[in-house]
């Protein structure tokens, strides 16, 4: 799917799918989860999804920062919280209320949380 193919006049949001990774379901389990299936079907009906992908667990993450010209590479996530970003979906919505509605339907809204970030256009 190409960028910006969504509905005219909408706002693009990035949904950061977060949880604490204590018992991460496999991709197969996710695909079999009726809540996730319903969510996927809803996204398709809305035609809202631009791109979506699941991320590898946070142990595989690398954080790069540059301070005073020096590149610092550290393992682990950027934000040191108990929840980590586990996936990213970019959606094109009429407004924030629609993005909230979509976020609330994702199974990770129940087990973790979804951070909604408007795309800086």
Give the footprint of other proteins on this chain (CB under 8 A): 11, 13, 93-97, 99-100, 116, 118, 120
Write the DSSP assignment of 73-109 as a string of letters: EEES-SS-SS-EEEEEEEEEESSHHHHHHHHHHSTHH
* Least separation in angstroms between CB 63 and other proteins: 26
CA distance 60 to 77: 9
Residue closer to other proteins, measured from CB, 28 or 121? 121
CA distance 20 to 26: 15
CA distance 113 to 116: 10
* Least separation in angstroms between CB 100 and other proteins: 8
Residue closer to other proteins, measured from CB, 57 or 118? 118
Residue closer to other proteins, measured from CB, 13 or 84? 13
* Least separation in angstroms between CB 67 and other proteins: 27
């Amino acid at each position: 799917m190409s960028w910006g193919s969504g509905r005219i006049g909408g706002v693009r949001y990035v949904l950061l799918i977060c949880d604490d990774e204590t018992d991460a379901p496999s991709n197969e389990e996710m695909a079999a989860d009726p809540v996730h299936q319903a969510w996927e079907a809803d996204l398709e009906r809305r035609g809202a999804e631009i791109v979506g992908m699941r991320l590898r667990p946070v142990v595989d993450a690398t954080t790069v920062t540059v301070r005073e010209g020096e590149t610092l590479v550290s393992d682990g996530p950027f934000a040191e919280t108990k929840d980590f970003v586990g996936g990213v979906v970019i959606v094109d919505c009429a407004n924030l209320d629609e993005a909230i509605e979509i976020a609330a339907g994702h199974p990770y809204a129940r087990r973790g949380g979804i951070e909604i970030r408007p795309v800086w256009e």
